[in-house]
Amino acid sequence: MQTEIIISGFGGQGALFAGQLLAYCALDLDLHVTWIPSYGPEMRGGTAHCTVIISDDEIGSPLVRDPRAAIVMNLPSLDRYETLVKPGGVLVVNASLVDRQPTRQDITTVMIPATEEAEAIGDRRMGNLVLLGALLELLPVLPPEAVGESLGRHIPAHHRDLLKSNLEAMARGAALASAARRDAVEPEAVSPGAA
């Protein structure tokens, strides 16, 4: 079983680090994993994305055309990856920077105002972890507690004071995704067209 996740945004939003955190957790759980960044003549404000593949078996290609899930942190990323997510997959959208709803009906989508949520916890730079928490709620690829433990194990020493609020950011993202999923399911259950 192989799960592919693309995380995409502007440089500086933490897309690459969020992907690395998944990779570290997969390593800690003794799974197979690949992490590959986009790289180029990068500049602040340019695009940055990474592909993470997690598998219980040897991984061939580290790149995929159609991932199981994507976290899109800005509008260009939504435009690029919404169409590519596999049917039945998951799309997590950073509502703080994206002003349109995804249109796909065959995937689970959720809009998370990550920047505002992260600011409320104390640092807007933790938006990436709010979104990651939301993803892990909707895509059971790694146990969120394990990702939290890996964060504690691999967070750089000079950011260790941010560990607690980072965990809080992930939990907040998970709670928002869980609530959004309930809202999405309930109207459908009473919809006259559902039969």
| 32 φ/ψ angles, rounded to the nearest 5 degrees | -85, 140
CB of 87 to other proteins, least distance (A): 15
CB of 110 to other proteins, least distance (A): 27
- Burial (CB < 10 A; 0-12, 13-18, 19+), residue 43, is exposed
Contacts of 143 (CB under 8 A, 6+ apart): none
Distance between CA atoms of residues 97 and 136, nearest Å:
21
For other proteins, the closer CB: 33 or 130: 33
CB of 179 to other proteins, least distance (A): 33
For other proteins, the closer CB: 37 or 76: 37
Amino acid identity of 193? Answer: G
CB of 86 to other proteins, least distance (A): 12
For other proteins, the closer CB: 58 or 188: 58
C-alpha gyration radius of the chain: 16
CB of 163 to other proteins, least distance (A): 19
CB of 182 to other proteins, least distance (A): 35
For other proteins, the closer CB: 31 or 171: 31
For other proteins, the closer CB: 89 or 113: 89
| 93 φ/ψ angles, rounded to the nearest 5 degrees | -110, 135
Give me the residues that bind other proteins (CB under 8 A), please. Answer: 20, 23-24, 26-27, 32-37, 39-41, 58-66
For other proteins, the closer CB: 26 or 111: 26
Asked if residue 84 lies in contact with residue 70, where contact means CB atoms within 8 angstroms, the answer is: yes
Distance between CA atoms of residues 13 and 117, nearest Å:
14
Q: Are strands 90-94 and 108-112 parallel, antiparallel or unpaired?
A: parallel
CB-CB neighbours of 125 under 10 Å = 18
